[in-house]
Chain A
C-alpha cells in the first residue's frame, strides 16, 4: 500500500519528562517534534518541580489534563493552534514520568484526545477533551456516560487493561460509531490511568482519523504468561494492513522493540529510531514513512500490566 508522510502532522510534539531522582525535578528525557524541533534545545534545559507547571501538576496529583497551548506559555510550550494532554505514569503512588502529547487543531486536522473519569454515580463521563474538527462528535460525547464494561472507556476500566479498537465507524463495540463514521474516525486506543491498583483515575482515549492520524499504528503489548515474552494483545494498522500479520507473530525478548524498552525502564519513551529499535519491522515502517514511536507503561498498583505503543 502506498503511503506518504503528511506534510503537516497532527502530532506536533511528544515529550517524555522523567524525575531526576525519586520525586525530584522532572527533565526532558526523550522527545519527538514535528516541524517545531527548534524548541528542543530550550526544553532540554527546563526542569519542573513537583506541582510546577502541567508536568509537575500531573506528576504530583497523578491526574492527566488536557489544556490549550495558549494557557501553557509559562510552561514553555509555545505552539499555536494546539492542545496538550499531560499523562502521568504512576507506579505504586510514585510518578515514573509524564508524557506531553501536543496535537495541532488547524483546519483539516481531525483527531480526539479524551479523559473519561468516574462520576458520583460510578459512570464514566467526559471530564476533559480535545476534539479537533470533530464538532458534532465532540458535542454529543459530552452527553454520553458509560457504566463500567460499556463502550471502549468502560471496557478499559473494567479490564484495567488498555485496548485498541479499529474500524471505529463500523464497530459494534464502539458505541459512538455513527459519529465516528460520519467524521472519519478510524482507530482508537483506551488506556487506564489508575490511582491505586483498584481505583481508576481516568481512561485516556486517543482517536485517530484516517486522513490525519495521531498514530497510524496503535498497539497494546503484554507479557504472555506462558512464554514470558512480550506479545501484541490488540492492535490496529489501518491502511497498513500488511503490518498486521508480521506484528502478530512477534514475540519480544531482550533489547528488542519499544515495548521492551519501556518495560525495562518502567517509564515512557519516545524515539525517532524505528529502524534501530523495531527489528524486524523497522524497514517496513520506514518504507511507509513512519517516523517515530511512543511507548507508555500501563501501571496497576505496583505491577506493569501492559505497554501501549503508538507509531507514526
Chain B
C-alpha cells in the first residue's frame, strides 16, 4: 500500500521535528522516518543528559528535555513516525517522489525534507567472515519481534544497556542466553546488571567475559559460533541466534546514491528555500551545507521554516501562501487547537 502525504521527513532529530511544526501550521501533514528505534537524533542518542545553552528563549535544557518539548510542540499536528527503518530509495514518478524504506513501506509525496544529521545511525558490524550471509538468518543487531526467540539458545554480545536489557527480557522466553562481552565490566545500569547476575545463578543466563566473536557457522541459517578468550582459548557454542550490540556509527548511507549535489558528507542547498538540486527535495539541519553554514540546532529550525513554505507551494498549487503570526492568526490557532 502506498501512503500519500504532503511531505516525508527523513530523520527524527531536533531539526526534523521542528520542520513538522512548520509544516503543521501550514496545514500540511507528514510522515517522519528514522533508522533509530527512538525519536530525537543526536540529542537522544549521544547526549540526552548533557546541557544545551543556545536554544533561543530557552536558557538551559538537556538533549532529552529539548526533544520532549519539541514533541509537545508538534502534538496538535497530523503526523506519523516510522522508526527502526532506513529510507533506502527515492524515485521520481511524474511530478511526485516515491520514498521506499528498508521495511518496504512506500510513500508518495511532492516533498521530501532530508533532516538526516550526520547520517543514519547504523549498527556497527563485527569483522567476521560470512557476516552478510547470516544477517537476518540468525544474526541480528536489534530485536524487532521478541517472540521469534522463544525456546531458542541466544548469544547476546555487548556490555551496554541494550545487551543487559535484552538478556533479562529474553531470559523469560528463551531456552538459554549467553551474554558475551570482551571485558568484564558492563556499562549498563547497575540495577539491570544485578538482575542479570541474579538470573545467571539459575544458568538461564550464562555470562562469558573476555571473549570475542571469531567465526559464524551454519548451512542456511546460523547454527554455531566460535568465540575466543583473551588467553587464546577457543570455544564453540551451538546457538540459534546471535544479537550483537556493538554500538552505533553514523553513515551517510543511501543518501549518497540519490544524485544530490554533495560537498564532503553534506548536501548542497540554496539558502532561499533549502532545496537541493532536485525540485521538491530539501535538506535542513546538520546534513545541509551552504556558504556560512553553522551546524547548530537553531540554524536548522530556521532552515525548516523556509523549506516548509516551499513545501506548501508545491503541495497546494491552487492556494496562496499567506504569511501569518501564531499570535494573531485564527487559522493557525484553530490548527493548534487553542481556539
A and B interact physically: no
